[in-house]
Structures are given as structure tokens and as C-alpha cells.
Amino acid sequence: METVITKSKLMKQIGLALAAVTAFAGQNLSAQLAGTATISEIGVGNATGGGVFQAVTSGFGTFDTFCISISTQVSLDHQYNYLVSPTPDWATPIPSGYPQSPDAYISFGTAYIYDQFLKGAAAYGGTLDTATVNNVQYTIWYLQGLLNGYQDPRGNTSGYDYSAGVTSILNSIYHTTTYKLADLLADGNGAFGVEALNLYDGVKQPQLIEVPEPTTVVAGALLLLPFGASTLRLLRKNRAA
């Protein structure tokens, strides 16, 4: 006897499959949001006292990252507990000499620059050009409100002028996008999936991380649905024969 699969039954099966995929994606991501991470140097950058660093995490694998904070230091090759959050967890109190009101969010400009870096864009240090990577770190601090009236993140008295490096990165954005400074300084609201990898254990040092969205997994499942429908039609045809 032929088993008839009606359109309504097929749509119900597809709906149940999508619900299962969505639930799995959400649970899988939630499990990754807390874990352990080790931060190390990778041989480029770091003239700023910040990134680029390499993060080895228990939930998101290994990736390159930059400091969001300017007022705390990470102990390299030390294992920290982390919690991924849309907002950075700042060290308190902020040491004397640093801006006292950093942004309570990851700015849109910070998210854009980091996303471009991870995509390998040469203008944003993605090819691991040392000078550009240093400029990227300064620009991230600038767009987070952490360089106002402060010229040397390393605490030196040389009066290093970071403005040329920041201007270089900002000009790259202005020449290739329609973004203005006000856009770059605004709350990113999770743009490009960029969030804070907040490190703990004797320090509150937020690093950047690009988190894959559960919808990415669901989108992949959606691409497979036509194949599923074709398979069901083939089965019906074979049974009818």
C-alpha cells in the first residue's frame, strides 16, 4: 500500500524539523557563552600595550582579538574564566589618568573594524600588518571613548600621538562606506555579531569576539529543505511504481 504524504503533512514535518534545529542552535550557543580562555601574543601589534592577541577558548575555538578596555592588563598565557555578553564589563574603579566614563556598549565603529579585520581586509590589519594592527587597537579605544585627553595607553611620558593612526583607520572607513563619525560612535547593538569576551579571575578585561548567530544555523537548514522535499517526492514515485 502506498503511503501518501500530503502537502499539509509535509509542511508540518518541515515545521517540526525547523523548530528542532532552532532549539538546538540556541542551546548550543548558550553552552558556549561561558567557559575558559587563554590570551597570548601572536608576534604582531602590541606596540599599543593592547592587541592584536590570540584567544584560545573552550567554546568558540581560537581567534584573533583586541582589547576593549585600556585601563586593565591581561596576564598572557593565563587561563581565565569568560562570559560572553553584548556589553563590556569594565574594571572598577578606573585607574587615575584614564577617562572616567567609557562607553557602556561596543560601538558600531568598533564592531565594523573588528569584522573587517576578521575578514582579512588589509586596510584594517587583517593581513596582520604590524603598523595597521596597532592603529586598529588605538581606533577601537578611541571609538569606545577611552582616548579623550589621553595620549599614551602604556603610561609612558613620551607623549605618543595616536591621532595619525586613528585618522588613517577612520579615513579608510569614510572612503569605502557612507558611515559618519556619529554612526561609528553610536551603540552597535550587536552589529556583525561582535560582543565582549569578558575575562575574570583577578581582572575584568573585556576582549572582542564575533559570535555566530543561531539564525546562521537555521539558514543552513533552510537550504536543505528543497532536497528533503525532493526526496519525499522520489519516495512516493518509487512506491507508486
Cα–Cα nearest to 153, from 99, 202, 109, 196: 99
Residue in the block written with cell 553552552: 31
Class of residue 35 by CB neighbours under 10 A (exposed 0-12, middle 13-18, buried 19+): middle
Q: Is 175 exposed, middle or buried (0-12, 13-18, 19+ CB in 10 A)?
A: exposed
Given this model, what pLDDT does residue 146 score? 83
Closest CA relative to residue 131, chosen from 74, 169, 172: 169
Q: How many helices (H) and strands (E) does the chain have?
A: 6, 6
H-helix or E-strand containing 237? helix 214-240
C-alpha span between 195 and 115 (Å, rounded): 11
Q: Compute and round to an integer the Cα radius of gyration of the chain.
A: 23
The pTM (predicted TM-score) of the whole model is 0.75
Strand, helix or coil for residue 48: coil
At residue 170's C-alpha, the angle toward residues 50 and 147, to 5°, is: 45
Short-list 169, 182, 97, 104, CA closest to 138? 169
Q: Are strands 53-57 and 34-41 parallel, antiparallel or unpaired?
A: antiparallel
The reported pLDDT for the residue numbered 159 is 45
* pLDDT (tens place) for every residue of the chain, 241 residues total: 555 555 565 555 555 544 544 444 444 555 589 999 999 998 887 777 888 999 999 999 999 999 998 877 788 999 999 999 999 988 666 666 666 677 889 999 999 999 999 999 999 999 999 999 999 999 999 899 887 655 444 444 444 567 888 999 999 999 999 999 999 999 999 999 999 999 998 778 899 999 987 654 444 545 555 544 554 455 455 555 5
Q: What is the pLDDT of residue 28?
A: 53
Q: Domain limits of the chain?
A: 33-236
**How confident is the model at residue 38, as a pLDDT?**
96
